[in-house]
Structure 1
Amino acid sequence: MSKQTKEPKQFDVDVKVRNFCGKSKLFFLISLALIVISFLSTFTGVDVALEFKGGTIITYSYSGEMDENTIESEIGALVGSSVNAQGGESLDSDTKTLSLSFSSNEGLTIERQAEVTDKIQELYPDSELELLDANDVDATSGSEFFAKCIVAAIFAALILIVYIALRFKQISGWSAGVCAVLGLLSTLIVTYGGVVLCGFEIDSNFMAVILTLLGYAINDTIVIYDRIRENQTLLPGMQVNDLVNISSSQSLRRTLRTSITTFSSMLVVTIVSIAMGLTSILSFSVPMMIGIVMGTYNSICFVPSLWVWWQKKRGISVLQPVKKKAKV
């Protein structure tokens, strides 16, 4: 009897394989266009929050109705600078609140604050206006907070590159790490452009979105890298672009489910915020939705295609299977 030979393990690709890498030029053009639009949005005017540029915030309680646009124009003409009026409701009572934000390095003097109060009372004499709080905001502390967030983002990007390089060294980890961070940077830039075009302020909510996306948007990319590393052994001798197409297709359903679930939760928050008039929450939920969509696109389409392009530039068309060490 002839000695039976053990057949190599066959891997069943039980998914519809989509040619992601075949559309790499289209993905690169889309990403480039979105990044350029995001940068150009800066010239439409960036609204920086008071906490970053300094000024004064005055809060009143009142009854009845007030027109915020009228207050902004009248008070702006009085103090000679732009004013942002925002209405709300007190958390500990049923009274309405009005917050006025004045951007200036020196803040408003006591005399000028009194003039502002008198002007509002003149406009709405039956409003039972009452001063609740008046605070000067130092721009220095806001600038320090902004700088610390930028440093944290840069440090996190470097750590991600090192982590991916070590974890996925079988698939040229350093290039994988750099491509992942470039995709993440693209997500953050487009999110910034969305914030500017939607008319939101660059404030602490925006920084919270950026720091959240730093951890969230990279997860799907790591899942695809893990699939590539697994398929590298299960499908030896396969071309890099085919290997990535299979790995991305296998991860597509999971990635979309995760993203749709997170996006839907942010959409519900957005709808409730609009219904309740909670504009402060909108400046977090809407940018998060933009970041989720862009992060999903980058994880599935942009980053894997960029990584394949990098490997081909290095002359690598086939990934060699990882050799397992023999047990002693």
Structure 2
Amino acid sequence: MELFRDANIDWLGKKWYFLGFSLIFSVAGVLSMLFWHGIPKGVDFKGGTLVYVKFDTTPNEDHIRAAMDAAGIRGTKITQISDIQGKSGNEEVIGLPESASLDANHDAGREQVLAALSSNYHDSGFSVQQVEIVGPTAGKQLQSQAWFATGYSLLGMLVYLWFRFELIYGVAAVAAVFHDTLITVGAFSLINQEITLTVIAAILTLIGYSMNDTIVVFDRIRENLATTRRENLADVVNRSINQTLSRTVIASGLTFLTVLSLYLFGGEVLHGFSFALVVGILIGTYSSIAVAAPMLVAYQDWRLKQGKQAVLPAKRVKA
């Protein structure tokens, strides 16, 4: 199926618009991470206690918060869990701050919540469904492992593209993926949405998705250069992007509709995971065209100005 037959869009001619778009969202995210919300870490990384409580009737969150305050528990985060249709349910997640969950006495947080509700909440009956506890030491270990997982995945992709194409192709692809990750994490900071382990899983997923899309474009560039080596590289890149445009729109569009449905109807538990995928799919598709390809052309132009030979991708290795 081909949506864009004989497309002839000058993508590289719009590179300055793309650069401006990327700078706006990247800088906004960085400023938010540095001076506003920081990187909002979930209980998986900063430690704490999550108590899942089911009430007999729809609870009043203000009354729950007042019950916590009356018991001397400050800084709690209360989140309502929606059902699969997105409707409000009778279950709440009561999150205790980091200081309330120490390695030596982390069970005290659960007992504090139970005592506070039993003594000060009288709207309806309740029952504790589940308790999740992460000590600060474990949280720091998980945070380090998340950084290592992201870094190793980028390094592995760089080495693979260096082997299959040339180093500049790997650098351009990794830079595009870093751009995607920065904007996605920045989006979480801007809306103050907590980053959890499931969000890290979504970020790793979008790294692979974005890289795959970039490789498709690079592979078409290699095929076109093999037949027209005297053609200007910018023209070859434009033609290659246009030739893969239908595949990009169909694949990314269907994936985006799926994750958008998950975001809208998946409920509170999957909200962070699906939000990361929604942002990541959009930015990842955009960066393959607007970041990786222009960076490749800019490097080749710089080499030609220096009087050096252009770097061409290695020929396809036949299986």
TM class by shorter chain equals 0.7 to 0.9
Select which of 284, 290, 314 maps to 2:303. Answer: 314
Deviates more, 1:14-23 or 1:123-132: 123-132
Q: Is the 8 A contact 1:24 1:306 kept in 2?
A: no
The equivalent residue for 1:44 is 36
- The secondary structure found in structure 2 opposite 1:280 is coil
What's the % identity of the aligned pairs?
A: 28
Deviations 1:154-173 (A, max 9, x none): 111111111111111xxxx1
Cα deviation for residue 254 of structure 1 reads 0.8
Q: Which residues in structure 2 correspond to 1:247-262 (within 5 Å)?
A: 247-262=240-255
Residues of 2 paired with 1:259 and 1:90: CA distance? 28
Q: Which residues in structure 2 correspond to 1:53-64 (within 5 Å)?
A: 53-64=46-57
Q: Is the 8 A contact 2:25 2:183 kept in 1?
A: yes
Could you say which structure has the larger radius of gyration? Answer: 1
Q: Is the 8 A contact 1:238 1:318 kept in 2?
A: no
What number of residue pairs does the alignment pair up?
A: 300
Letter of the 1:21 counterpart: L
Residues of 2 paired with 1:139 and 1:319: CA distance? 49
Deviates more, 1:153-162 or 1:50-59: 50-59
The equivalent residue for 1:164 is 161
The equivalent residue for 2:135 is 138
Q: Which residues in structure 2 correspond to 1:283-322 (within 5 Å)?
A: 283-315=272-304
Instruction: Could you tell me which runs of 5 or more consecutive residues in structure 2 were left unpaired when the two chains were aligned.
Output: none
Is residue 93 of structure 2 the alignment partner of residue 99 of structure 1? yes
Cα deviation for residue 90 of structure 1 reads 10
Q: Is the 8 A contact 1:165 1:177 kept in 2?
A: yes
- The secondary structure found in structure 1 opposite 2:53 is strand
Cα deviation for residue 236 of structure 1 reads 3.0
Deviating beyond 6 angstroms after TM superposition, the runs of 4 or more aligned structure 1 residues are 108-112, 316-324
Residues of 2 paired with 1:262 and 1:26: CA distance? 26
Residues of 2 paired with 1:236 and 1:136: CA distance? 60
The equivalent residue for 2:72 is 79
Deviations 1:144-193 (A, max 9, x none): 1221121121111111111111111xxxx111110110000000010111
Cα 1:284–1:23 change in 2 (3 A) is same
Give the alignment's TM-score, normalised by structure 2: 0.84
Q: Is the 8 A contact 1:54 1:139 kept in 2?
A: yes
Select which of 269, 281, 284 maps to 2:262. Answer: 269
Cα deviation for residue 97 of structure 1 reads 3.4
The equivalent residue for 2:114 is 117
Cα deviation for residue 300 of structure 1 reads 1.3
Instruction: Could you tell me which runs of 5 or more consecutive residues in structure 1 were left unpaired when the two chains were aligned.
Output: 1-13
Residues of 1 paired with 2:16 and 2:309: CA distance? 18
Residues of 1 paired with 2:264 and 2:313: CA distance? 49
Residues of 1 paired with 2:60 and 2:237: CA distance? 57
Q: Is the 8 A contact 2:169 2:296 kept in 1?
A: yes
Residues of 2 paired with 1:188 and 1:200: CA distance? 15
Give the alignment's TM-score, normalised by structure 1: 0.82
Residues of 1 paired with 2:287 and 2:61: CA distance? 40
Cα deviation for residue 313 of structure 1 reads 0.7
